[in-house]
Structure 1
Amino acid sequence: MAFKNLEHFINTLDQAGELVRIKRYVNPHLEIAEITDRVSKMPGGGKALLFENTGYDFPVLMNSMGSYKRMCLALGVAELDDIAREIEDLFKMLSKPKEGILDKLSMLPKLGQFASWMPKVVGGKGACQEVVMEQPDLSKLPVIQCWPKDGGPFITLPVIHTKDPHNGTRNVGMYRMQIFEKDLTGMHWHKHKVSAKHFNEYKALGKKMPVAVVLGGDPVYTYSATAPLPENVDEYMLAGFLRKKKVELVKCITQPELEVPADADFVIEGYVDPADPLIWEGPFGDHTGYYSLADWYPRFHVTAITHRKNAVYPATIVGVPPQEDAWIGKATERIFLAPIKMTLVPEIVDMEMPVEGVFHNLVISQIVKDYPGQAQKVMNAMWGAGQMMFNKILVVAGKDTPITDYKKLAQHVFKHLNPATDIYFSQGPMDVLDHSCSKMGFGGKMCIDGTTKFEEEIDERYHFPEAPKAIEVAAIQSVLPGITAINQDLLKYNIPCLILAVKKNKKGHIKTLNKQLFDLPALKGIKMLLYVEHTVDVTDLPSTLWRFCNNLDPKRDHFIEEKDSIESTGKVEALIGLDGTLKTKEWDNFQRDWPNIVVSDLPTIEKVDLIWNELNLGEFVASPSLKYRKQIYGDEAIVDI
């Protein structure tokens, strides 16, 4: 379904009972984000929020794609898997042999459909240019500041247009934009992104780089800007396919080399001059749930701002999951399963990206396994596939393992896991937002082969006795007092894994502790120990998994222990420990700064508490930040963080 504009999508959400209109004044500085954080963590993602009274001329739309239902509405489908099936059918149709003239003729209607999806540049001005600001001024837009330690207000849903200076190929991506002045922002291009490549090409040519930023319009534009498409594939072709209607583009007013969707709500035109000094951008409360640290990025100079009459300003927040971006990621997981299956990993059946893994940190793949070593083949293929190169932990399971039932998944994986031989470590490119890497953008990866093993894959030297169903936590803590808490709940489900909270107080603490625990008779049969910081509530498994995945560099932070088995002569027992604690210079020789978890400040929390009953949001919901403030700072009554 093609939406005429963002207003059309808002009305659709309203009619579906998926929108709350907030008429009370709410400040875009921190308050909108605090309200959205509470709502996005409601069951199922809460509702979309339209803040109609912001002190500006434009309302602010938040959480518009923050649920499965709203994500499907945005893409015009009943189920996200419908898109994957359509893509798979297209692949099959295009690749099957054409044996005769009738087969070839049968292709014509589908080829006509292809043509109808291709973007088209139209003459004249678009609705996005109905109003042209006489003097471009970003302070006229209700740009939100999400979190108290952010470097300032950020545009958080910008659809950014650039072109290759040599061949004119368009790229449409999404990169946050910190506002510094009324006509100046940062341009947060990561080194791995296509826009950064375009920037380097303009720099080599000594030319200014035209850039156009779109906000609003059909929500499919926002989704397409985030999609992991191959380089040189036009994002607006994907948008046309999804909306079943070509995207009409118009030329920018001050940057006519670029075209933007005619139905956008806002267009911010400008340029990046490679000769400019870089600007210190950030920090920013990011999708990892931690602040991404400040760094040097290019300057974007605004030359024009245009907008529709009655335009709506769309925004999002990212931070401790779940947030709206989890549902955008779910769409990508489902939509791009088909291309991965058809072009890279034909044995893949399904894929799951748990919310706690914040996209790249944890991916679970389900495969049909026909020969030994196939899980490793899948591992190498996936780590070489586009943005999957940023994946940190990959779990490969067999076709009979339910990968969305995490308890059954863990039971199956651990039943077939030898921690000494079935976990593979590598290094490679990582998301530059990954703070656990010793070097920015480069770190360790881990693949856990949880498939049923063929005879050739089994190392007969190893013996694994049955793990206990329970352990005496107090007895272990009395021997090893650095352990502040142990979650042993997994043992009762035949999952031989413990989660331990540790207060580190010396170099090599986790490595030493891992050996000491392995030597305890009470832990015989345990295959894996997961370590987290002493401030983590290990009874809260989703939160613990999120913290663990963020703070682990698998290649650097794993410790494998082996010893002769008493029960089986000539056999060896093994255990692996994984250190998901925060790393410091003092105890870990970690040389980078370690970021803070993203939380609201107490004045904002208290303000939202006071106005909650005026927001039409139903029963009171406490701030999700309170839990993490208490864990981090020890006292939620601290006013300034």
Structure 2
Amino acid sequence: MGYRNLRQCVADLERSGRLVRIEREVDPYLEIGVIQRRVYRAGGPALLFTRVKGCRFPMLGNLFGTLERTRWLFRDALRGVEALVRARIDPRELLRHPADLVRLPLAAKNLLPRRARSGPVLQRSCSLAELPQLVSWPKDGGAFITLPQVYSEDPRQPGWRHSNLGMYRVQISGNDYGPDEAGMHYQIHRGIAIHHRAALEQGVALRVNVFVGGPPALTVAAVMPLPEGMPELAFAGLLGGRRLPLAVAANGLPVPAEADFCLSGWLDPQVLKREGPFGDHLGYYSLGHDFPVFRVERIHHRPDAIWPFTTVGRPPQEDTSFGTFIHELTGELIPEVLPGIRGVHAVDAAGVHPLLLAVGSERYTPYAEPGRPQELLTQASAILGQGQLSLAKYLWIANAGDEPPALHRIGDFFRFMLERVDWRRDLHFHTRTTIDTLDYSGRGLNQGSKLVIAAVGGPLRTLADRLPADLRLPEGFDDPTLPLPGILAVRAPVWSAPPYGEDGVLSVFCRMMEKRGAPDGIALVVLVDDPDFVARSLEDFLWVTFTRSDPAVDIDGVGAAVVHKHWGCEGPLVIDARLKAHHAPPLEELPELEKRVDELGAPGGPLHGII
């Protein structure tokens, strides 16, 4: 059986040597975040902070810090979940016809929550100011809940069967928020938006509960990309290995009886307030913007409540384990949802949404060798129309018939694509469209472009694995290096235009290279601020290139031309990946805090031998 609550989980982790207690007083302002990040990078255990400065609640970090530990937490239920996936069973049908559960694996019965008259979570209450005020980065606008489970229901169809449980940023201090107000930052393409719009159209406030803690399955369920109509509460029961008991919170909405905390209230239908800035999973600060105000009516908590948290920052972070675990659970279903697609990989090192790699199938003309991408383009459109995959900014898609390398071998996949891509034909832009809310490379909040790069057939070129002897850079460009075969990184002049402007550097480089001649073996050039940093690792190359460029604005090429409204280039493609005036600032660690954390890893310290 799975865990009934978080305290049960903590006890199990401690018994098995997978958790360390930190009994020294630690500060939730910056210090705890540094500790958690250091232990995560070391592949260390879960952390229970029992003495949190200024707060009576213990804090639990790094719970999902390794994939091995994440699998271990759900070891009792995984076989049942996998059996349902292999059987291609749609859980939504089971919820419509509960009697069918008796003919399915035992795990299926856990899909249905059960009613509870009360529960531990309703036994105590507190204020927002009494909650742990976790601040992870020095320029953060205040404290926010990093592992919230935000519950809402469709006001047109009340009840948990039409509910949404998502993980959205909830700011609980700072800026202009009152003592009973919080910021509700939800990004585009999130389920709560449908409920919020329905409430606004009816002229009513949207009731919302924010759960914190409870059985770990609730946290994972809140980030699962489930099909529309499949309530996350049902999946939490399936993954947790037991039916989820639901009590009723102050606002009348359900609350898991074994949750640790529940912030119960409603979204103000008339007031927006500035939320942020905050460090985010792209590795930058998401800037301050106006978002709905969550008016907190009451905060319920259990007597022995534990506050779980994570750190949001440049990948890899703890949510990397989330993503990998979720892919293991759902990866087999991709061909069912997207016919012809053999695999999809959202690249964590590039911030997930900025870069998607995929393998599709050219089946339109089985009687002939495909001479150009055909069905791959249809499949790319299907990917960009599917759930959160629609937030992808760059989509590179290969043909399975050409036997591309596995998608997780990212460097090999890039080499495969760059050997085959024809820049005159294989670039397909989506201009003036929506992109991830946290991506500031575009023309404004949620605004930017997308690029599909599709390649079919055999190699067209041999990629250089060392700097070409005939390389001659234009004046003002220097320090060339090869991060990957066929990819040239070049230092360009520092951005000099105002926000959302153009300083002409990209165009100057391309036009000058046309006069000088493109070097042999180079398929892609990336203009950057620091070529040495970009070439330091594959992760650094991916992060800089794909988080700092907007395809429609920051791409040009040597020998560029437009033919029948289709843009392409004869020579290398060029991406301008410099930091620009409208970009959000990147996150940076504080050396003085790093030194303080070093003391915890010294002999006699609680983290000795771990960090």
Amino acid at match of 2:167: M
Q: What is the aligned partner in structure 2 of residue 88 from structure 1?
A: 86
- Alpha-carbon distance between aligned partners in 1 of 2:451 and 2:81, rounded to the nearest angstrom: 30
Larger deviation, residues 387-396 vs 228-237: 228-237
Q: Do residues 497 (structure 1) and 487 (structure 2) align?
A: yes
Aligned to 1:448, what secondary structure does the other structure show? Answer: strand
Distance in 2 separating the partners of 1:216 and 1:24: 23
Letter in 1 for 2:486: P
Q: Shift of residue 523 of structure 1?
A: 0.9
Matched, 1:530 2:526: yes
Deviation at 1:228, TM superposition (A): 1.9
Counterpart for residue 49 of structure 1 = 47
- Aligned residue runs from structure 1 range 378-417, under 5 A: 378-399=379-400, 400=403, 401-417=405-421
Q: Residue 61 of structure 1 aligns with which residue? A: 60
State the distance in 2 between where 1:393 and 1:482 align: 26
**Unpaired stretches in structure 2, ≥5 consecutive residues:** 94-98, 365-369, 497-502, 562-568
Pairing partner for 1:170 from 150, 163, 166: 163
Q: For residues 314-463 of structure 1, what are the structure 2 equivalents within 5 Å?
A: 314-343=308-337, 345-371=338-364, 372=370, 373-399=374-400, 400=403, 401-427=405-431, 428-452=433-457
Which of 133, 144, 148 is matched with 2:138 structurally? 148
Aligned with 2:121 (options 118, 128, 136): 128
- Map of 1:302 onto structure 2: 296
In structure 2, the residue matched to 1:629 is none
Are 2:255 and 1:260 aligned?
A: yes
Aligned in 2, Cα 1:165/1:563: closer, same or farther, shift over 3 Å?
A: closer
Shift of 1:467: 4.6
Contact kept, 8 Å, 2:340 with 2:360, in 1: the verdict is yes
* 515-524 or 543-552, which deviates more: 515-524
Query: Does the C-alpha gap of structure 1 residues 338 and 59 become closer, same or farther in structure 2, counting only changes over 3 Å?
Result: same
Moved more, 314-323 or 204-213: 204-213
Aligned partners of 2:70 and 2:152: how far apart in 1?
26
Change (3 A) 1:260 1:602: same
Per-residue CA deviations over 1:361-400 (Å, capped at 9, x if unaligned) read 1122233443441221220110000111101111223443
- After TM superposition, the structure 1 = structure 2 runs for residues 481-560 of structure 1, keeping only pairs within 5 Å, are 481-483=476-478, 485-488=479-482, 490=484, 495-504=485-494, 507-521=503-517, 523-534=519-530, 537-541=533-537, 542-560=539-557
* More divergent stretch after superposition (611-620 vs 372-381): 611-620
User: Within 1, Cα distance between the matches of 2:211 and 2:101?
Assistant: 35
> Which secondary structure does the structure 1 equivalent of 2:281 belong to?
coil
Task: Letter of the 2:67 partner, please give it.
Answer: Y
1:596 to 567, 580, 585: 585
Relative to the length of structure 1, the TM-score reads 0.82
Deviation, 1:331, is 2.3
The SS at the match of 1:555 is helix
TM-score by length of 2: 0.86
Q: Which of residues 218, 223, 234 in structure 1 aligns to 2:220? A: 223
Counterpart-to-counterpart distance in 1, 2:17 and 2:549: 41
Unaligned runs of 5+ in 1: 96-104, 459-463, 565-571, 585-592, 622-641
Report if aligned partners of 2:150, 2:210 keep a CA contact under 8 Å in 1: yes
Give the match for residue 565 of structure 2: none
**In 1: Cα distance, 2:524 partner to 2:572 partner:** 6
Q: What is the 5 A alignment of 1:207-246? A: 207-246=204-243
Q: Call closer, same or farther: CA 1:75–1:368 in 2, change over 3 Å.
A: farther
Cross-structure match for 1:187: 184
Q: Is the 8 A contact 2:92 2:230 kept in 1?
A: no
Q: Does structure 2 conserve the Cα–Cα contact (< 8 Å) formed by 1:247 and 1:261?
A: yes
Helix, strand or coil at the partner of 1:530 = strand
Residues 501 and 533 in structure 1, CA contact (< 8 A), matched pair in contact too: yes
Partner of 1:608: 597
Provide Cα deviations, 1:580-636, integer angstroms capped at 9, x if missing partner. 22223xxxxxxxx42111123344334334444264223585xxxxxxxxxxxxxxx
CA–CA separation in structure 2 for the residues paired with 1:382 and 1:69: 29
Distance 1:529 1:16, change over 3 A: farther
In structure 2, the CA distance between the partners of 1:468 and 1:409, relative to structure 1 (3 Å rule), is closer
Mapped partners of 1:398, 1:475: distance in 2: 32
Please say if residues 213 and 261 of structure 2, whose CA atoms lie closer than 8 Å, have aligned partners that are also in contact: yes
CA distance in 1, matches of 2:574, 2:101: 55
What's the CA shift for 1:185?
A: 1.1
Q: Matched residues in 1 for 2:579 and 2:608: separation?
A: 38
**Count of residues in Structure 1 that have an aligned counterpart in Structure 2:** 571
8 Å Cα contact 2:113-2:244 kept in structure 1 = yes
Q: Which residue type is aligned with residue 85 of structure 2?
A: I
3-state SS of 1:212 partner: strand
Residue 47 of structure 1 aligns with an amino acid whose one-letter code is P
Q: Find 1:118's aligned residue among 103, 109, 112.
A: 112
Determine helix, strand or coil for the equivalent of 2:546. Answer: helix
Measured after TM superposition, the shift of residue 310 of structure 1 is: 1.7
Contact 1:33 1:146 in 2 (8 A): yes
**Gap change, CA 1:536 and 1:51, over 3 Å in 2:** farther
Residue 210 of structure 1 aligns with an amino acid whose one-letter code is R
Distance 1:299 1:31, change over 3 A: same
CA distance in 2, matches of 1:418, 1:262: 58
Over 3 Å counting, the alpha-carbon distance change for 1:444 and 1:341 in structure 2 is same
Identity of aligned residues (%): 29
TM superposition shift of 1:525: 3.3
Q: What SS is found at the alignment partner of 2:207?
A: strand
Give the conservation status (yes or no) of the 8 Å contact 1:117–1:244.
Answer: no
1:465 Cα deviation after fit:
5.7
Q: Where does residue 4 of structure 2 map in the other structure?
A: 4
CA contact (8 A) 2:492 2:505 kept: no
Report what 1:29 is aligned to.
29
AA aligned to 2:5 is N
Residue 111 to residue 61, structure 1, CA distance change in 2 (3 Å): closer
Deviation, structure 1 residue 111: 8.0
Stretch moving more, 10-19 or 354-363: 10-19
